[in-house]
């Protein structure tokens, strides 16, 4: 099934951001080798791809299940994250948005916009917490634009 361009772009942004977290911040939480980080990243990507195959982004009936599936994929990377509570907020927002889509209160296009807004808010919060920390102020949730 074909994924709309905006949905694919948003998903790519999230996984690029999570990959940057692995590459740049794993040392903040404790010793984690590059090989272990890469293994977790590969596992997360594989889980996300399985979600995309199992739950169509265009099917409002499975929006909550899709959001929860992606949550499980993202949680694989949790040990590498310096601020997991920022991810928790983003996950909660994504599930809330999925519920609105599934209940007919929001379209898939509106949901994509809302998820992008939530991602931007997470990036802002993460950047404020870190300041000019170990990544020199580079956001772990880069803008897709």
Domain-embedded: residue 48: yes
Domain-embedded: residue 133: no
Domain-embedded: residue 143: no
Q: How far apart are CA 109 and CA 21, in angstroms?
A: 28
Under the banding of pLDDT at 50, 70 and 90, the label for residue 79 is confident
**What's the pLDDT score for residue 51?**
93
**What's the pLDDT score for residue 30?**
52
Structural domain span for residue 100: 5-127
pLDDT, greater one: 9 or 131: 131
**What's the pLDDT score for residue 36?**
87
Q: Is the pLDDT of residue 136 over 50?
A: no
Angstrom CA distances, 56 to 6, 45, 138, stand at: 14, 17, 33
Instruction: Report how many domains make up the chain.
Output: 1
Query: In this structure, are residues 31 and 141 in contact, taking their beta carbons and an 8 Å threshold?
Result: no
Stretch among 12-16, 45-49, 60-64 having the lowest mean pLDDT: 12-16
pLDDT, greater one: 128 or 136: 128
Q: Is the model's pTM score more than 0.85? A: no
Domain-embedded: residue 10: yes
Domain-embedded: residue 107: yes
Domain-embedded: residue 145: no
For the chain, the average pLDDT equals 78
Under the banding of pLDDT at 50, 70 and 90, the label for residue 133 is low
């Amino acid at each position: 099934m074909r994924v709309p361009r905006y949905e694919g772009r948003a998903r790519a942004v999230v996984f690029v951001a999570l990959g940057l977290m692995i590459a740049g911040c794993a040392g903040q939480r404790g010793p984690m080798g590059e090989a272990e980080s890469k293994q977790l990243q590969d596992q997360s990507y594989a889980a996300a791809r399985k979600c995309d195959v199992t739950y169509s982004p265009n099917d409002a009936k499975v929006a909550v299940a899709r959001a929860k599936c992606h949550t499980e994929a993202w949680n694989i990377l949790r040990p590498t994250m310096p601020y997991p509570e920022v991810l928790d907020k983003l996950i909660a927002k994504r599930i809330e948005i999925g519920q609105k889509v599934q209940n007919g209160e929001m379209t898939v296009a509106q949901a994509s916009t809302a998820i992008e807004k939530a991602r931007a808010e997470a990036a802002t919060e993460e950047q404020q917490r870190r300041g000019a920390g170990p990544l020199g102020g580079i956001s772990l949730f880069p803008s897709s634009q």
